[in-house]
Amino acid sequence: MDKVFINNLRVDTIIGIYDWERQVRQTVSFDIEMAHDIRKAAETDDIQYALNYKAVSKRLITLVENSQYLLIETLAEEAARVIMTEFSVPWLRLTLYKPGAVRGAENVGVIIERGRLA
């Protein structure tokens, strides 16, 4: 199966369990791989057969900017659910980074895989 990807999509949101985190927007970032058969899009050169990564990105930005989850696990699950249901993605691997959450570490985060590869 082919994969369409988005790397380092950065979005500001309210995320975290501490009181100070509920008061400030923090930047999270996503790397996403999504299964999609690109052959028809390539054959026809027509966007209607492609997985429109701009549309996926815009939807994810809207979701994340308007969310206020406590846990990155919850945000990752909701992001995966939205992408899979709204864009008919059968499988994805989503990495969600929360930079600066741990002193001395560039990033912390979660990696989830959902669905099945064909």
**Helix, strand, coil percentages in the chain from 3-state DSSP, rounded to 5:** 35, 30, 35
The separation between CA 1 and the C-alpha centre of its own chain, rounded to angstroms, equals 19
Burial label for 102, CB within 10 Å (0-12, 13-18, 19+), is exposed
Which token pair is 38? 């690109």
Contact of 10 with 82, CB cutoff 8 Å: no
Q: Which of 40, 54, 58, 98 is catalytic?
A: 98
58 carries an active-site annotation: no
Task: Name the residues annotated as catalytic.
Answer: 98
